[in-house]
Structure 1
């Protein structure tokens, strides 16, 4: 475990490669839900849906280098499995299985309305740039939701996004098209794709591209690394 810092409220727990693995008979596995249903909230039940990156063990509060230096970072957490495609290679090993404290926001129209309002407020507060991590848990869940992010990129010029999707369906194709057209501002990698660019994989050994520096201890957190949104080289993650 590395120490907490001014960028992160909580210390990072280094991946041990033995996270919580669900049996295919587990109710959460079978129903496509989180293991912690009491930690799922409607948007109006939480103070805000976009959380300060300072609250994350790995993300960090403010970008420390690169073209987005000094930009504040925010995160969005949805419900794992409930918003994901069942073909996801991490369906049973999702690191959400070990995140009981996380506030997962219910997907849908109410989320999208609240999200738009919060993005507008962040644009006003941080016109020089802000960064959103999609999604700490969960995934893009509809074409309407993907279209919202396309509109947001046009409406809020300070907005920048990074994250991952395991979608292989029409939703995933729409995400990839949006990323390909706007990589400098919408750096969404395809999870589980064996590709040297714009992808990510989970492996206990070997690597495609580079192993996440925040996991190896080569850097403190995402905020001090910037690789995920600064480069299109693929990233390998060790199992949590």
Structure 2
């Protein structure tokens, strides 16, 4: 398959499972060289082995992307091993406890915002000099249905994903003249390993629970990954600043 991606240097975060894993495998299948970044060392290594068995080229970087040292390692690995950074997929994320504002602890708020919003900012900032030097680059962020509405998650997760949407749009405007595109997908319900540690009787989960009746069908990670790969490809060369629901029309209800 030829789609303008082949041989490029790609970073995918949260690539040890779910949407990130599916995206990493899809990029590799097109001939791209992939940095598989994930908190789970064993999961990341397993994905790299899977890619290598299929003839792909990949390397893993394990660690917490909320830490600047890990972010620097991810960026430098792509540059040193693959010659630069052509595509960045900020996919890593965690759920909150569906907590309403009055029930959100400082720890829950700070951790969710750190992983879901600050980490994508840090990694984008780290790779931008390399993209600017090359005069091109594609950034694809994984936002969420919770980035489009207030009834899909708790306060912390909702705020973090609205932040991802804003970050994406700002990047698109700021760097479009430098050949860099930034877009985001907003997954609806997707069959991944992410779990929600929530007390269903608490105010937050009890309040937003009824809104999930319009969720639509559960998607496969590969369906989300297909849109990520498209947005990173030359086929989407004039798509910039787009926030695309991949949710079986949940956002349209």
The TM-score range, normalised by the shorter chain, is 0.3 to 0.5
Structure with greater helix percent: 2
How high is the TM-score relative to the length of structure 2? 0.37
